[in-house]
Structure 1
Amino acid sequence: MCEDNHGAHGDTGSVGRRALFVTGAAAALTLGSVSFAAAAGRDQETRTVRGTLPPGSPDFVYVPVEVPSGVREIKVAYTYDRPAVPAGTTGNALDIGVFDERGTDLGGRGFRGWSGGARTEFFVRADDATPGYLPGPVREGTWHIALGPYTVAPQGLSYELTITLTYGEPGEAAEPVYPPERAEGRGRAWYRGDCHLHSWYSDGRRTPAEIGALARAAGLDFINSSEHNTHSAHAHWADVAGDDLLVLLGEEVTTRNGHVVALGTDPGTFIDWRYRARDNRFGRFARQIRRAGGLVVPAHPHATCVGCNWKFGFGEADAVEVWNGSYSPEDEVALADWDSMLVASVRSQSRSWIPAMGNSDAHRDPDAVGHPQTVVLADALTREAIQEGIRAGRSYVAESRNVSLSFTASGGRGEHAGIGQRLPVDRDTPVTVRLEVTGAPRCTVRFVTDQGVLHTSAPLPVSGSGVVEWRTTPSYAAYVRAEVRHETAVGPLPGALAAFTNPVFLGRG
């Protein structure tokens, strides 16, 4: 299956027999070991590994590296070929990461870093590491370079690894410092956040400091660190947080069958991603996210990029990212799918439903941090309070800080309910639904129920402010949610969202 050749700038390496380990429906290929001699007066040794992966390769290919004692730093560089392919055929893409001597067990403790396809080389030592990787001692034992053949061209994927060990006394490891779980806040209030962001600790191009500055400029009160398949950024946000900005810690768990944001986990939490939907393992890691104090939020569920479409179902979801970045047809499909889930929840008379979120997924210029943003009613600007507001659906999504909504339903005897709540009135009680909008010039308001769109307003004035009301009953509408839409140039399709709310449920349930 794989041809491997070893050359060296120093001694020649050797390759043992390959072993194929199959676990569930996923397969991982482990190659023969790359050996290094003990230091023996050398400052540095290098080995070169070459091989070719055919189409249909396992999701992960591990290259064992026998690391002797006395190593100060391990450095790995890699290249692979990118041959021309016919139109409509995927070319080569090869991800990379590393596990230390504690092994590659799923969910184990051996993870030391992942850069996907964002970097061509990395290093790890006690006092420092390449962004995406975890600093710490380079201990003696069998390390594993993890290759992820994301896509393989019909011609196959030829790669070359250059592994360099530097000997010497290890540097002094610094204790990680994490951001606080509380910011000053405004008591019970509406707080704006963006929970899906990427820095240079995965495939983004911005530093945490740059993201923090952009978050403040976007009027955000909280953000969430969500690097692809690594928690290496967690210890680099403390200086960004402040009384005016709460920084939550998490990960974008990027599997081959969809991505999920682990939102607000304990500092230093790593969530494994090496499984597919057919492996029936996602529930284990969703529970791990919750044990670590986080929320499970499937991201961009209808994205069309390879491996991005969500295939694990929504039984474990605490919320779902319906709007991701600039509004697109993918988001329109996600919105419709989410609305169908709301209908199913009321049809089954279930008291559980999945709230919607919106996040920027910003990586680099011109991606706008805070476009869109989730606006959450929370008792305080703390990790726990923000998560509780998201989980309860007390939130709406807006394209920017300029857009603000107030959405309520009221009965004839003073009953009142807001976003994410239930108005407990009898089936035939008249209900008034009211939306106050600011910052949405010439936008149209739509009220959507389990029967579909039942009310559409005239365009709001150029000032962008207005009030829209509609009357209904619980027997006619089991829930009502609001959409604020931009104008459309042509055609029957609605305009892009400027904002939308989670529902208000009507009736005694």
Structure 2
Amino acid sequence: MRALLTLFLVSFSFCALAQTAPDRVLHGDISGRDNNTYRSVPFDVPAGVTRITVQFSYTGREEHTTIDLGLLGPDGFKGQDGFRGWSGGSKQVFTVSATDATPSFLPGPIQPGRWTLLLGIPNIRAKSHASYTAHIWFARDAATAWGPEVLNPPLRTQAGWYRGDLHMHGAHSDGSCTSQSGAKRVPCPLFLTVQHALDRGLDFIALSDHNTVSQFNDMRELQPYFDRLLLIPAREITTFQGHANLFGVVQPVDFRVSSASVPDWSALLRHVASLHGLISINHPIRPDDERCMGCGWAPAKPVDMHLVQAIEAVNGLDAMIPVLSGIPFWQNQLNQGLHLTAVGGSDNHDAKLVMPTPGGSSLIGTPTTVVHARELSMPAILDGIRAGHVFVDVQGTRDRLLEMTATAGERHAEMGDSLPAAAGTAVHVAIHVLALAGDRAELVLDGKPLQLTTDLNIHGTDQTLSFDWPSDGKRHWLRANVRGSAGELLMVGNPVYINE
């Protein structure tokens, strides 16, 4: 119930954001007398605003009327943060905030006071008339931090399975690659990461540099061009007691766990919860010593794990190295009654690095986190992860699919859902797979293999395996994996929770 309430509140906040009316609507008219002049259009920004988004339109284009657009803060051209940008006529929608801004505009603090849309009118015919309208939105909290839907419309509006990589690094932290000449290693530009992700056939990536939010401004420049790949703002909260990815929040977050301001991980997680962010513990089973200080999950004090939404069960190639796999850590949390979604991330630090195989592809997208979402947008992807509608494609293919559903009477559940099933009820489980012929499904009940008489070998490229499991009326979780012919882990499914 707690998880369901949290999902409802977060989903409501994002849906409300998409439908919110503008905070200000400004109208005006111009005529031929305004040719080659500037006009100031003031509007008041109240205290507490963290982002300003403007949508600007005007009539008369068929008569070659042109209105250019700029933005001034309360200090106008006099103050250090007064001039906030000039796009000419190139932008119909733009945003400014402390962390990022639409290209042509400058990020910086949003000071309360009188701001100004600066209009330049390079051309309007002597006998022409035109009107303009500016819709202005104010973000006041983290739930609206990335901006209204007019600024970030869904890249696709269809519901479906979307493939992505939730963990990667570039020039904004410790990601590096060879320079253009190949002569030296340099901080790896963000666009290389994005291009390689697109080449891998991914639908979304989360750009998760260590503790910083500087990459968000670059994302504003790249996203309009990469209109087939969703760029999700993220960061890897990197502490001396473990790492975790924070998705969907652009405000700086104090990451100094064990300091006076952040005494422990629970304090940090409570702050993140107030920002409506999604948090995922990264590579929990890693050395925590001089080889990789702080990489393993090693909190000095107990952590309220109800404040965590996901676990990076597969990091890079660690599914091939059982002693580094995060799956046992994740399953232990499930056995304690927590509903935490298993995700995967490449943890890529070199966008140009490829698999050590002939014709090897980029390591970005290995593994791939596959999310069932209502559309391809940041709110929808994060809601899908919160709901547990996720599987991990360990090798990062373009076409493998793992779906599991469970039915008891008239009740139906998919991965991440809860299913009531009274004692003696036959729970019908169906596992649908694609592109896994020759491999084998396996079932895991409460962390242990579930022995069945059903044939779980996969014989076709599109196949559904099914069986009935008798409920004992107690709490359980049940999930599926797929393994290759040599026993290698290929697919990791999230659980259906029974009698939760």
**TM-score bracket for the superposition, by shorter chain length:** 0.5 to 0.7
Give the equivalent residue in structure 1 for 2:297: 310
**Is it true that 1:232 corresponds to 2:219 in the alignment?**
no
Please say if residues 183 and 245 of structure 1, whose CA atoms lie closer than 8 Å, have aligned partners that are also in contact.
no
Give the equivalent residue in structure 1 for 2:495: 503
> How far apart are residue 420 of structure 1 and its match?
0.7
Q: Indicate the SS of the match to 2:167.
A: strand
Q: Indicate the SS of the match to 1:410.
A: strand
Give the equivalent residue in structure 1 for 2:378: 383
Give the equivalent residue in structure 2 for 1:358: 344
Give the equivalent residue in structure 2 for 1:223: 205
Give the equivalent residue in structure 2 for 1:251: 235
Please say if residues 183 and 244 of structure 1, whose CA atoms lie closer than 8 Å, have aligned partners that are also in contact.
no
Distance 2:190 2:369 in 1: 20
Q: Indicate the SS of the match to 1:239.
A: helix
> How far apart are residue 263 of structure 1 and its match?
1.1
Give the equivalent residue in structure 1 for 2:313: 322
Please say if residues 182 and 383 of structure 1, whose CA atoms lie closer than 8 Å, have aligned partners that are also in contact.
no
In the alignment, which of 165, 187, 195 is matched to residue 158 of structure 2? 187
User: Which residue identity does 1:236 align to in structure 2?
Assistant: D
Distance 1:353 1:290 in 2: 16
Give the equivalent residue in structure 1 for 2:366: 371
Select the structure that is richer in helix: 2
Distance 2:293 2:492 in 1: 28
Give the equivalent residue in structure 2 for 1:486: 484
Q: Indicate the SS of the match to 1:467.
A: strand
In the alignment, which of 439, 442, 446 is matched to residue 443 of structure 1? 439
Taking a change above 3 Å as real, the CA distance of residues 291 and 175 of structure 1, as seen in their structure-2 partners, is farther
> How far apart are residue 282 of structure 1 and its match?
2.3
For each residue in 1:375-397, what CA deviation from the matched residue of structure 2 results, as whole angstroms up to 9, or x when unmatched? 11222222222211111211111
User: Which residue identity does 1:505 align to in structure 2?
Assistant: Y
Q: Indicate the SS of the match to 2:166.
A: strand
Distance 1:198 1:330 in 2: 24
**Is it true that 1:263 corresponds to 2:234 in the alignment?**
no
> How far apart are residue 324 of structure 1 and its match?
0.5
Taking a change above 3 Å as real, the CA distance of residues 370 and 384 of structure 1, as seen in their structure-2 partners, is same
Q: Indicate the SS of the match to 2:237.
A: strand
TM-score, normalised via structure 1 length: 0.58
Q: Indicate the SS of the match to 1:212.
A: helix
For each residue in 1:236-261, what CA deviation from the matched residue of structure 2 results, as whole angstroms up to 9, or x when unmatched? 01233243222111211111111111
Q: Indicate the SS of the match to 1:446.
A: strand
Instruction: Within 5 Å, give how 1:271-350 maps onto structure 2.
Output: 271-276=253-258, 280-304=263-287, 305-312=292-299, 313=303, 314-326=305-317, 327-329=319-321, 333-345=325-337
Distance 1:192 1:251 in 2: 19
Q: Indicate the SS of the match to 1:484.
A: strand
Give the equivalent residue in structure 1 for 2:414: 418
Taking a change above 3 Å as real, the CA distance of residues 310 and 276 of structure 1, as seen in their structure-2 partners, is farther
Give the equivalent residue in structure 1 for 2:129: none
**Is it true that 1:471 corresponds to 2:457 in the alignment?**
no
Please say if residues 261 and 296 of structure 1, whose CA atoms lie closer than 8 Å, have aligned partners that are also in contact.
yes
Please say if residues 181 and 246 of structure 1, whose CA atoms lie closer than 8 Å, have aligned partners that are also in contact.
no
Aligned-pair identity in percent equals 29
Distance 1:250 1:306 in 2: 22
State the number of aligned residues.
323
Distance 1:451 1:292 in 2: 33
For each residue in 1:278-310, what CA deviation from the matched residue of structure 2 results, as whole angstroms up to 9, or x when unmatched? 973323322333333321111001122322111
Q: Indicate the SS of the match to 1:223.
A: strand
> How far apart are residue 459 of structure 1 and its match?
4.1
Distance 2:249 2:323 in 1: 26
Gaps of 5+ in 2: 1-79, 82-103, 109-145, 177-187, 355-361
Give the equivalent residue in structure 1 for 2:106: 175
Please say if residues 281 and 310 of structure 2, whose CA atoms lie closer than 8 Å, have aligned partners that are also in contact.
yes
Distance 2:159 2:232 in 1: 19
Please say if residues 230 and 377 of structure 2, whose CA atoms lie closer than 8 Å, have aligned partners that are also in contact.
yes
User: Which residue identity does 1:355 align to in structure 2?
Assistant: T
> How far apart are residue 408 of structure 1 and its match?
0.7
User: Which residue identity does 1:342 align to in structure 2?
Assistant: L
> How far apart are residue 234 of structure 1 and its match?
1.0
> How far apart are residue 329 of structure 1 and its match?
2.8
For each residue in 1:1-57, what CA deviation from the matched residue of structure 2 results, as whole angstroms up to 9, or x when unmatched? xxxxxxxxxxxxxxxxxxxxxxxxxxxxxxxxxxxxxxxxxxxxxxxxxxxxxxxxx
TM-score, normalised via structure 2 length: 0.59
Instruction: Within 5 Å, give how 1:90-105 maps onto structure 2.
Output: none
Give the equivalent residue in structure 2 for 1:124: none
Distance 2:324 2:218 in 1: 35
Please say if residues 320 and 354 of structure 1, whose CA atoms lie closer than 8 Å, have aligned partners that are also in contact.
yes
Range that drifts further, 369-378 or 327-336: 327-336
Taking a change above 3 Å as real, the CA distance of residues 302 and 396 of structure 1, as seen in their structure-2 partners, is same
Gaps of 5+ in 1: 1-136, 139-172, 346-351, 489-494
The structure with higher relative contact order (CA 8 Å, sep 6+) is: 2
Taking a change above 3 Å as real, the CA distance of residues 471 and 332 of structure 1, as seen in their structure-2 partners, is farther
In the alignment, which of 166, 169, 172 is matched to residue 201 of structure 1? 172
